[in-house]
Structure 1
């Protein structure tokens, strides 16, 4: 018992040290990303007078709401050292099931949780393969994506039917005080997501698991549960994004999730999270999602092709990886005159 207590104390001290280091880094990263968003929006007026307006800001926030929800789930998976490549397929599944089973009009809106439960089941299947069968996350989620995509194709015979239920139209098309409903939803979701990731026991477990799995196990972290839940939550978020897209476009397509794979990872990395796990902050992820959406909006406004947009997004990830290295922040702290922690 004494040995276990000593190990737990040492682990907690290590976590406190890492947390203290994360505060400066993640705060600076999040602020820098949001400042860059503002600068980019203002600079976009140089490209077109129609850009940089308040209306464009509302449009960017509305479009960013999809990526924020998706990146929350992806961020939890990455926090544990994993990666979820099944998100585009689960987005499509959520959208297709919504239009096919519920359809337009008032519809059976109570079926929406059931659709999300099915999407969560997809995430559970991926987690079972990763946690119990020891299949690498990259391979397992890719296989899941292929299976789910094929199932959606078989369900629709290549042509999704139906339109959006009224409740989703209200969520994505409604407004209050001149501000679109998705903007309110974005703010609420961002706050809730930040609390879940940074201020709950579950969130602390995720950080512990991603930092040191063996130490987390000795400290009493329920490894299996904490390893499984992020994939389930990620799939539920993806299914809900499919619903949101249905409400926004009033219909579903078999390729509706294809453009969200790279951005879901990019938003997390740009926000300051480590792709290796154990390090991240949802506030930065929200900023990363808004930044990528702003970039996409500007590119669309000036008529650049989708291929070039993907190249730019890849370049942004590379620059973020270079700028957000721990060594850089250590050097900045050294230049500011702060003593380094440790020996």
Structure 2
């Protein structure tokens, strides 16, 4: 084990183990304390290892629920291989219901590969990269839009660095079978600082998801995520007896570059006129931005500068300069 994060789990031991990744955090009230990041290891012996994570952002609930559902079922399922599961990877953010950690303000999906002597958030990322990635063959990091975005259900993956990795990534996407799939070069979002990008850089087959969004729970998004993980575990032979629904049709999309997205340029109230998943055309009015302090002033029109499918839309109405309001993709 590298860095200062430690656990009592023996990843080579057969059976089920439950403990924490214990992240040192010395504070005024606890000089030798640690932050508990819940972790489960299901080891059925010879076979591939699948690393499953959720709660990388604390306000994204679909993946957290999915992994808790699956944990209880895997406990009674015959396995051929190993599943390592962290359903609340950024535990401080999960407890606070926030995207970023309240301990250090860190966005876990923007600090990979981490720092063994950095902040709590950086140490979590380093533990994933240095301790868990070497154990894994496949990685699924479940995300959704959280409190700020409504997102089309989609699976994202980086392109493989060689033919063998590309084929394993395509197999992962095929059997996860999200309604929409995007192969990305990492431009926009977190680039190479995300968990799944870092996993791909380490030669693993990895994907991440967006499973809806908003401040509550999307049962449709949770169902898509759970079905996808079930199909992957069954196909890989890790959990051959795990029930999994047949996939629906899968559409391949390409994200349009960030400069085609619509951003707030001033403080205001965002009034959207289009829905996530809607096909739109350049020149269409996507919504309005109302000035808060000037109710008699006509709102600014937000016009589209590209054709595409609305892949995400801002959830809160109150907006500030730089807030992403609407993003687009196109069919491949």
TM-score by length of structure 1 reads 0.21
Q: Which has the higher helix share?
A: 1
Q: Which has the higher strand share?
A: 2
Q: Which has the higher contact order (CA 8 A, sep 6+)?
A: 1
